[in-house]
Amino acid sequence: MVAAWLILALAAPGPTPSGTGALVIETSSSTSTIDAKRLGWNKVQKGKDPFVAPRVPAGEHKLTFCNEYKCIDYRARVRAGRTLALHVDFEPGHVEDISSAHQARLKNWQTECRQGHVEEACVEACRLGTALSPRRAAADCTTLAELKRPKDPNPGSEPAHRPAPELLPVNPARP
């Protein structure tokens, strides 16, 4: 299944890119909210797809994750130039750092896209790559565009010759 990545671009101008990292949040609940007062996030809705924040100031941030039954507080340490990926499991109620697994999954998508031209992998790599680096066009997006371009049914052949359309005489006396 192709996941659609939810992208949150911070509204306030943030510090320079060298002072920011990225945050990816996955939850076990299909509907939940994320609070981070210092980041200006107040009950940000998170659906079933991962939540991606590409420019989070480096440092420690208190995050609160809530579903309809409970809230979980977590102190996240975002490092400059790195992606912190978290999985929030409301039952039993803990947050797990899945950054290594997340990075491996992204690299796998990139490899499948670039070497095998697997469309689903290109979609995922393009979405996440663009979310994490919005100013840089991901190579995976280029590969995806090439995969979606209509194929020529006769590659290498000359285009079919079409006769010029027949011109009809114009009668200037007719309105």
- Domain coordinates in residue numbering, the chain: 1-97, 100-147
SS3 call for 157:
coil
Confidence of residue 45 (pLDDT cuts 50, 70, 90): confident
Confidence of residue 78 (pLDDT cuts 50, 70, 90): very high
Choose between 162 and 70: higher pLDDT.
70
pLDDT confidence of residue 77: 93
- Mean pLDDT on 81-88: 89
pLDDT confidence of residue 104: 86
pTM, whole model, 2 decimals? Answer: 0.65
Tens of pLDDT along 46-68? 887 888 888 899 999 999 999 88
What whole-number distance in Å separates Cα of residue 113 and Cα of residue 129? 12
What whole-number distance in Å separates Cα of residue 54 and Cα of residue 61? 15
Neighbours of 138 (CB within 10 A): 20
Residue type, 144: L
On the question of pLDDT at 30 being above 50, the answer is: yes
Residue type, 49: D
Match 């420690």 to its residue by tokens: 60
On the question of pLDDT at 38 being above 50, the answer is: yes
CATH class for domain 1-97? Answer: mainly beta
Tens of pLDDT along 88-126? 998 888 899 988 888 888 888 888 887 877 788 887 777
On the question of pLDDT at 149 being above 90, the answer is: no
What whole-number distance in Å separates Cα of residue 84 and Cα of residue 102? 9
